């Protein structure tokens, strides 16, 4: 673990050329957030997932973020930081993010240990509500202990409904791990938020939610959900094959989503791919 951190520290501290990832200028937008998801880190840097080393692909993402740090205001991690909830995985993650030096937030995924994350001194506290100028970012916990699929419990649904009523004059975005609807992969669609219709009913009664963002599916997708765009994020580790009926991996590099929030309530988003990634996945793997 120490060797991996020293390598990352060296890469992030070396002077590197700053760059932007879109033609949107900082003066034109209010805030840029980067969404990373599904890091699946193990307890050490050499842990492998379907042949790929998630720590190395994660630190390729961190290096790209360091190049763009002058244009990024914060990072939000939409779950599955760890491959199996290992305490050392959260320590690796937290130390890497500390070296990057950008403010960040997180929410849990089905591979995570939510209680362990909240008690881990390497991570900041879980924040269900984040203020960004006039925007309000709401983070939901869709993870169910011992299950792969997602659910939004009744307490969160009630709290969300009350928050959106209170924040009626603010544009809002919702972040979660599991998508609340189908994304066109039969095997992954079985994992969607089981009570997504309850969330849809809340959104249909309100107009201030401008976008939803999720992880879990390890691929980029945009679908309509209750009249609101839902954007999924690729993984910083392995990518799943789009449109697949059963578990299937694709040889694709790590990536992340950038999101620009505007004072007017408009949102723009896109994907940055680590085109020079050195990590390769075993696409023949039948699961993990």
Q: Provide the 10 A C-beta neighbour count for residue 2.
A: 9
- Residue 7 DSSP SS3: helix
| Res. 29 pLDDT band, cuts 50 70 90 | confident
- What is the pLDDT at residue 288? 83
- Residue 235 DSSP SS3: coil
Q: Report the run of H or E that residue 221 belongs to, with start and end.
A: strand 221-225
In sequence order, which residues have a C-beta less than 8 Å from that of residue 174 and are 6 or more positions away? 137, 138, 139, 140, 160, 209, 211, 212, 213
Is residue 74 over pLDDT 80?
yes
Mean per-residue pLDDT, 244-249: 97
- What is the pLDDT at residue 23? 42
The alpha carbon dihedral of 234, 240, 243, 245 has a sign of negative
| Res. 287 pLDDT band, cuts 50 70 90 | confident
Higher-pLDDT residue of 14, 239: 239
Q: Answer for the pair 46, 145: CB distance below 8 angstroms, yes or no.
A: no
Is residue 146 over pLDDT 60?
yes
Taking Cα atoms as reference points, which of 191, 281, 196 lies closest to residue 241? 281
The whole model's pTM is what?
0.92
Q: What domains are defined for the chain? A: 42-273 (3.60.21.10)
């Amino acid at each position: 673990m120490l060797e991996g951190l020293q390598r990352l520290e060296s890469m992030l501290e070396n002077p590197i050329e700053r760059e932007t990832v879109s033609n949107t200028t900082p003066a034109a937008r209010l805030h840029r957030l980067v969404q990373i998801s599904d890091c699946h880190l193990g307890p050490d840097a050499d842990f492998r997932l379907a042949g790929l080393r998630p720590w190395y692909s994660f630190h390729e993402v961190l290096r790209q973020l360091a190049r763009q740090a002058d244009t990024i205001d914060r990072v939000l991690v939409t779950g599955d930081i760890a491959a199996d909830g290992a305490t050392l995985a959260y320590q690796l993650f937290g130390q890497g993010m500390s070296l990057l030096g950008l403010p960040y937030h997180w929410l849990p995924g089905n591979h995570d240990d939510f209680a362990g994350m909240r008690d881990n001194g390497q991570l900041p506290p879980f924040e269900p509500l984040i203020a960004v100028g006039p925007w309000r970012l709401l983070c939901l916990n869709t993870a169910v202990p011992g299950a792969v699929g997602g659910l939004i419990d009744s307490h969160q649904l009630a709290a969300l409904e009350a928050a959106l009523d209170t924040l009626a004059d603010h544009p809002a975005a919702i972040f979660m791990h599991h998508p609340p609807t189908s994304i066109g992969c039969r095997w992954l669609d079985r994992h969607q938020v089981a009570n997504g219709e309850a969330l849809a009913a809340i959104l249909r009664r309100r107009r201030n939610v401008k976008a939803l963002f999720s992880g879990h599916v390890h691929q980029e997708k945009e679908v309509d959900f209750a009249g609101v765009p839902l954007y999924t994020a690729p993984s910083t580790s392995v990518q799943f094959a789009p449109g697949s009926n059963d578990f299937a991996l694709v040889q694709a590099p790590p990536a992340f989503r950038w999101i620009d929030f505007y004072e007017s309530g408009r949102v723009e988003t896109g994907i940055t791919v680590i085109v020079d990634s050195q990590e390769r996945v075993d696409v023949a793997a039948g699961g993990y």
